[in-house]
Amino acid sequence: MAAARVPLWAICVLRVALATVYFQEEFLDGERWRNRWVHSTNDSQFGHFRLSSGNFYGHKEKDKGLQTTQNSRFYAISARFKPFSNKGKTLIVQYTVKHEQKMDCGGGYIKLFPADMDQKNLNGKSQYYIMFGPDICGFDIKTVHVILHFKNQYHANKKSIRCKVDSFTHLYTLILRPDLTYDVKIDGQSIESGSIEYDWQLTSLKNMEKASAEAEGWDQAAKDKSQDWEKHFLDASASKPSDWKGELDGDWQAAMLQKPPYQDGLKPEGIDKDVWLHQKMKNNYLTEYDLSEFENIGAIGLELWQVRSGTIFDNFLITDDEEYAENFGKATWGETKGPEKEMDAIQAKEEVKKAQEEDEDDMLMGRFSGRENSFKGFHRRNEF
């Protein structure tokens, strides 16, 4: 008997059930977003956000997101979720960003914070785990930041990742895997990937632990070699005293001619490896979380500067399932990207048409004004 085929919808439902969604925000309930997102009051000059789909969009309601509203301002806003650790799990951070104002200088990135982050006091000095997304300023800076917190320091990807610079909505995805590989996607397409250790030029704690074990082996080898080395400095002409009794006095050893030179910071020839200071590393680091592993993720936020406002942030997602993130991106950005460009094209045509009509009106007014002036001149000439 042939096995029964499992319908596609059942597979999709099972996949959703297996995925863990830590945070998802589409702003589909109007102004209720204010109950979930907290503006920082650290600085009274922080810019304000509003809910908007912008001047052009694919769907007026689905494309609504947090929009910056004031020029030349810092912004700081965040939302909480149930704290979790991604240790041993894949972590995907995804969202859409639209620089409708054609960004000249400003950030479009997001940050993931520890659960104990003070939302009301969020500012540029607030500790974060991950900073990810586009940053544009002038002709030089058009980059996608991927900054990770590791061993109490921030580390940026050493590769240059270019961001989108047009005024349309784009989908940004960061994938961090437990095997220490990563993937950066824009609009569902991988634009950079590889090894976190190599591309951040960092050493994982797993490899540190391996190195520590190797170091212990070298320490023992060094100890054994040093004992052999000491024999080279024994007085070869010396002989065991006639009254030496091994049972009482132990094994006889000739006197040392001089102090071995490997002591006091030096080492004997024949030991071709440095003795690593692995004990300090073991005590301080091996109990910490490894590269791209974070203990207490509990908030997502926008903490950035913009010269010209108008950016819209939407479709936030934090999950452990790459397929779920891909499907979510298709169901949100994927559904509205086409209609958004169509609306923009229609508006562009209308603006061109309007400009042409205004030019024609100006020309007609110019002609009428010229005739009127000629008529007045004719009457003046006839007055004489």
Q: Which two tokens stand for residue 367?
A: 């002609």
349 is in an annotated binding site: no
Please provide the size of the chain in residues. 384
What single string gives the DSSP state of each residue in 203-217?
--HHHHHHHHHHHHH
Where do the H-state alpha helices sit in 201-308?
205-231, 246-249, 278-285
111 is in an annotated binding site: yes
d(CA 382, CA 380): 5
Per DSSP (E only), the strands in 138-278 are 141-150, 153-156, 169-176, 181-186, 189-195
Residues in CB range of 310: below 8 A, 6 or more apart:
54, 67, 68, 69, 99, 100, 101
SS3 call for 57: coil
172 is in an annotated binding site: no
Q: Which two tokens stand for residue 242?
A: 């006639």
d(CA 27, CA 62): 8
SS3 call for 97: strand
d(CA 41, CA 119): 9
340 burial (CB, 10 Å; 0-12 / 13-18 / 19+) is buried
128 is in an annotated binding site: yes
Instruction: Please give the annotated binding residues, written as ranges.
Output: 109, 111, 128, 135, 303
Instruction: Please give the annotated binding residues for an alpha-D-glucoside, written as ranges.
Output: 109, 111, 128, 135, 303
